[in-house]
Amino acid sequence: MDPLTHALSGALLARSAAQLQSGQRILPVRLQIATGFAAAAFPDIDLVLRLIDTLTYLNWHQGPTHSLLLLPLWAWLLAQLFSWISHNRYHWKSFLLPVSLGIAIHIAGDLITSYGLMLFAPFSTERFSLPLVFVIDPWFTLIIIAGLIASWRYPRQRIAAITALAALCGYVIFLWFLQQQAIKIANLHASTHSIPQARISVLPQPLSPFHWKIIIRQNEAYHLADIDLLQSSAKPQAEAHKWLLSRMAATYRPEPENNWHIHQQFGDNPAYKPLIRNAWRDPAFEAFRSFAQFPILERIDTSEHVQCAWFYDLRFKFPELPPSFRYGVCRLRGESDWKLVRQKGLFYID
């Protein structure tokens, strides 16, 4: 989820739990809200891993700072920090509740996106995900903002913040029903086309909660569909001159259109597959292999002097946009050693 939504959600949860009583260990409500805001932004401090390299960041993002097991440690450290910033005017225990709530709602927010969290770090690097929300969801953010505005309008009551949190839960439940609908479509396609050993994934997509990417993996083949669950009949394709967002939205098609495509992980050219597999399995590509959940060949570059195989992860390919996080391995002709290379994408994080 985007950093601003994370921080705002921490402020909303802190407001819903804010204590209005006065006392040495009770923070003013505005300070509880500010603490929740800052604490909810904290887990994404792992962005500093970009200073090492992008793949290190990609493999460890949403790692230890997003761990449920380490949450008490981070909460204690942040509470101590905020107490020190306040020149010990408030005891660190006064900050502990809003800090804990802020970190917890950040973890919950990322859990319902498709990236995956190391919930049990440092004892396990296994990632967990319930992909229901795209990383940027305007409706999700607007519900939070509406709750905060209403809370500001009625500063002595928590009911506005609590109502907004209830609305968020309702929205997530609604998204779960949409996810189940997408899974049903995937199962029907796999059954109708007799796809053995099908591994089904459905991922939320940009621009609408009704947009879903369905991925059915069968060995080295991907059956893909970009589905619009809101539409039940054919809709017009966006013309080439229309706005980018219109063209992107038009790519998601109603289920009856049977908008399925098959892509091979290592491409369609049998002559190149031995070379591509050799490149994919090379130790130089280990970091990308660890990161990619749905790896697929983008292209092969060959020339008189060099050979390169470029891959990306289907999670990060969206209509009308180049893939994010494209990596490849290259070697000089006549040499056996591959070297990892990176191709910058459209966004700063690439």
Q: What is the CA radius of gyration of the chain?
A: 23
Q: Which residues of 116-150 are buried (b: 16+ CB within 10 A; e: fewer)?
A: bbbbebeeeeeeebebbbbeebeebbebbeebbee
CB 170 within 8 A of CB 36: no
Q: Provide the β-strand partners of residue 332.
A: 306
Say how far apart CA 140 and CA 156 lie, in whole Å. Answer: 25
Query: What is the pTM (predicted TM-score) of this model?
Result: 0.91
**pLDDT per residue rounded down to tens, the chain (350 residues):** 899 999 999 999 999 998 755 555 678 899 999 999 999 999 999 999 998 989 999 999 999 999 999 999 999 999 999 999 998 899 999 999 999 999 999 999 999 999 999 999 999 999 999 999 999 999 999 999 999 999 988 888 889 999 999 999 999 999 999 999 999 999 999 999 999 888 999 999 999 999 999 999 999 999 999 999 998 766 666 565 688 888 899 899 998 888 899 999 999 999 889 999 999 999 999 999 999 999 999 999 988 889 999 999 999 999 999 999 999 999 998 788 899 999 887 776 77
Say how far apart CA 247 and CA 176 lie, in whole Å. Answer: 26
Q: Is 258 helix (H, G, I), strand (E, B) or coil?
A: coil
